[in-house]
Amino acid sequence: MLDAAVRAALASAVGEDNIVSDPVGLRSYECDGLTGFRQVPGLVVLPLDTAGVAAAVRACHEHGVPFVARGAGTGLSGGALPVADGVVISLQRLRRVLEVDPIDRRAVLQPGVTNLDITKAAAPFGLYYAPDPSSQQVCTIGGNVAENSGGAHCLKYGFTTNHVLELTVVLPDGEVVTLGGDTAEQLGPDLRGVFIGSEGTLGIACEITVRLLRVPQTVRTLLADFPSVTEAGEVVSDIVAAGIVPAAVEMMDNLAIQAAEQAVGAGYTLDTPAALVVELDGPAAECGEQFEQVKAICERHGCTRLHIAGDAAERAKIWKGRKAAFAAVGRISPDYIVQDGVVPRTRLAEVLGRIEDMGGAAGLRVANVFHAGDGNLHPLVLFDESAGELDRAEQLSKEIAELCVELGGSLSGEHGIGTDKACSMPTMFSSDDLATMDRVRSAFDPAGLCNPGKLLPTPRLCGEAPGRYRPHPLEEAGVIERL
């Protein structure tokens, strides 16, 4: 339990009305989107501005209390998992668009602004914000910075790090600093780049300056069905080999298609083994010529149905199906785990075949939906916890992530390492690599109070049984209650 001195310091920092301490309220913060990892925090504070965040962090630092920053809680790697007897610093009340500059094409944002709201604020000026995670309606720019989020259009436009110019950051001791500047390239070490994607372990971003892009002159979108994921994967490789860089190339297998179509009725073919969503944008002449090339490549690889979006409404309908896929899987399975890994494009067919074999060996189904253009997989391991399938599902999910490394890829493309995959980091990095990362982290946070237990493997984290919280028999019987 946090003592009275800590509570008083935090109340002074953010105001008594901005503290959550009742057991029911605290449970709202016990996990992020990876619900298998849960821990009730000691307190939650909800500061109103950068000064409040800094004051709360200073209070935690002075009393040696660990703290975790939290945005919308949509992360899928356990990156916002609280610490027992620690503090959650919620950024949900810092949700203002501070400035939109249409001349220099920039926006200044508080971390609680949702990804989609950036584009809504920029739209009156003919501008938009390019990174677009599937959860863009609810995920926040602060969380996007922490995880270096991408989205469907990152193939052409890059990840969060390619669009953030400057950060106002509260360091783990409460000091407020500026990282980056007016332009993407700055003299000296790229501390802005170090911070983006550090998963909340180096400090808390409280103001974020992003660059905005002009809305493309033309956007063309198609939905193509294929007799197998192999043919669909070959299309992706051939499109890139032809020198075409689409705005997005997304692939879904039959399980994912069935789930999405049941959920939103996007017009997908229910019995097709695989489908590609390909989108091109840019000048009308260039876009039109390349679109014809893409159609020809699809037909050359046995495309069984080619649907071209006739207008913005049809295009939105196609994307609605793709972006609903994660949540829609709940319609075909009582439980599921979302994995995130990367492989070279040329090994897409191989990795999907291996995943199918691994799922068969485990007696579990795996739905696949992913950013095919850059090889960023999102396998969804389907299981029924009530049937005792949890342990097998967790093991299969871990093996899929490590398979990506084996095939020349990485453990994560955009969801982060968090708590979920920290113990798999040695499969990708040497002990020297991990020690260097730890030294960088310690330079920012010598006391180890800022989002501890995430990203890097530790004996405590990796020596204990991983996975979902397993209730004590007395808790299951209702004799005791977990707080």
> What does the pLDDT look like over 303-321, one tens digit per residue?
999 999 999 999 999 999 9
Coil, strand or helix: which one is 318? helix
Position 462 scores a pLDDT of 84
Asked if domains 4-90 and 217-331 share a fold, the reply is: no
pLDDT band at 150 (very low <50, low <70, confident <90, very high): very high
To which H or E segment does residue 108 belong? strand 106-109
pLDDT at residue 478, as a whole number: 75
Q: How large a percentage of the chain has pLDDT more than 90?
A: 91
Query: Which pLDDT score is estimated for 451?
Result: 98
* Residue 463: per-residue pLDDT: 66
Dihedral angle, C-alpha 277, 280, 281, 284, nearest 10 °: -130
DSSP per-residue letters across 320-347: HHHHTHHHHGGGT-SEEEE--EE--GGG
Cα(213)–Cα(410) distance, rounded to whole angstroms?
A: 29
| Helix ranges restricted to H, 196-242 | 229-241
Question: Which pLDDT tens digit goes with each residue over 420-452?
Answer: 999 999 999 999 999 999 999 999 999 999 999
Architecture of domain 4-90: 2-Layer Sandwich (3.30)
Tell me: the pLDDT tens digits for 3-41? 999 999 999 999 999 999 999 999 999 999 999 899 999
The three-point CA angle 184-208-437 to 5° equals 70
Q: Is the pTM of this model over 0.75?
A: yes
**CATH T-level assignment (fold) for domain 217-331:** Alpha-Beta Plaits (3.30.70)
Q: Where are the domains of the chain?
A: 4-90, 97-214, 217-331
3-state secondary structure of 197: coil
Q: Is the pLDDT of residue 414 over 80?
A: yes
Q: Is the pLDDT of residue 466 over 50?
A: no
Give the mean pLDDT of the chain: 94
Across 61-71, average pLDDT = 98
Classify domain 97-214 at the CATH topology level.
3.30.465
Q: What is the dihedral of CA 172, 176, 181, 187, to 10 degrees?
A: -60
Say if residues 370 and 386 touch (Cβ distance below 8 Å): no
| Rounded average pLDDT over 38-50 | 97
Q: What is the arithmetic mean of pLDDT over 90-102?
A: 98
Judge whether residue 212 has pLDDT over 90.
yes
- The whole-number average pLDDT for the span 194-212 is 98
DSSP H or E run through 210:
strand 204-211
User: What's the whole-number mean pLDDT along residues 49-65?
Assistant: 98
Q: What Cα–Cα distance (Å) separates residue 27 from each residue in 3, 8, 100, 483?
A: 19, 22, 36, 8
pLDDT of res. 187: 85
Tens-digit pLDDT profile for residues 240-288: 999 999 999 999 999 999 999 999 999 999 999 999 999 999 999 999 9
